[in-house]
Structure 1
Amino acid sequence: MTGISTHVLDTSLGRPAAGVPVELALQTEGGWQVLGASVTDSDGRAEDLPAAEAGSVVRLRFGTAAYFAAVSDGTPFFPEVAVVFTIAPAQHHYHVPLLLNPFGYSVYRGS
């Protein structure tokens, strides 16, 4: 099993994005099966997501609408961000940060 964590940073405000709902799902033949969910803490981190098996395709879905509703009064351009990736064999942990702003985002494989 491979651990998965994430970190969301609001690049428009220059600070961690607290309170972002995060869902981890596994791709199956029948669609997506939710494995677990979390909410980013005051440091923008969600480190309590469940592990996934090597070879799996997984999705992190970030509920950015809830976050932007809390920090601004506009309708977000991206109400959610979905990041899909494959768990490679022999990997013990994946950290997938999200850099977020009202009109764009970027993700990468962190360490």
Structure 2
Amino acid sequence: MISLSSHVLDTTSGKPASALPLTLTFPDGTTAEGKTDDDGRCKTWGDVSFTAGTYQLRFHCEAYLLAQHGDSFYPFVDITFVMTEDGGHYHVPLLISPFGFSSYRGS
């Protein structure tokens, strides 16, 4: 079984980025919407099943960065990644600031 979660951390403030919208694009082009909770985490994508393939997570960060820091170089951040049948749980964190970001495969 494949599962997916994400976590957005604001590296400028050192706090989770809450209420940040995300769009997940599936290999077939369909999408699901999510939003980070108070701890900056997104674990629910509605009633979906994950299969092997290439996915994209779009983090809609501009409004959050403008509200928190008054500036944003990034209107959004796209992370494209591959999930495999035997990959288990995928965790895609985003570390964000007004002028930089980083991501990795978490656990």
Q: TM-score surpassing 0.5?
A: yes
Moved over 6 A (4+): none
Name the CA distance, whole Å, in 2 between partners of 1:27 and 1:92.
17
In the alignment, does 2:4 pair up with 1:7? no
Is residue 63–residue 79 contact of structure 1 (8 Å, CA) maintained in 2?
yes
Counterpart in 2 of 1:53?
51
Q: 1:70 aligns with which of 61, 67, 71?
A: 67
Is residue 4–residue 51 contact of structure 1 (8 Å, CA) maintained in 2?
no
Name the CA distance, whole Å, in 2 between partners of 1:4 and 1:78.
24
* Letter of the 2:94 counterpart: L
Q: TM-score, normalised by structure 2?
A: 0.90
Partner-residue secondary structure (3-state), 1:23: strand
* Letter of the 1:68 counterpart: L
Name the CA distance, whole Å, in 2 between partners of 1:97 and 1:73.
23
Q: TM-score, normalised by structure 1?
A: 0.87
Describe how 1:1-111 pairs up with structure 2 within 5 A: 1-28=1-28, 32-34=29-31, 36-49=32-45, 50-54=48-52, 56-74=53-71, 76-111=72-107
Is residue 25–residue 60 contact of structure 1 (8 Å, CA) maintained in 2?
yes
Unaligned runs of 5+ in 1: none
Is residue 21–residue 66 contact of structure 1 (8 Å, CA) maintained in 2?
no
Name the CA distance, whole Å, in 2 between partners of 1:14 and 1:24.
25
Count of residue correspondences: 105
Q: CA RMSD in A?
A: 1.3
Percent sequence identity over aligned pairs: 41
Unaligned runs of 5+ in 2: none
Taking a change above 3 Å as real, the CA distance of residues 87 and 51 of structure 1, as seen in their structure-2 partners, is same
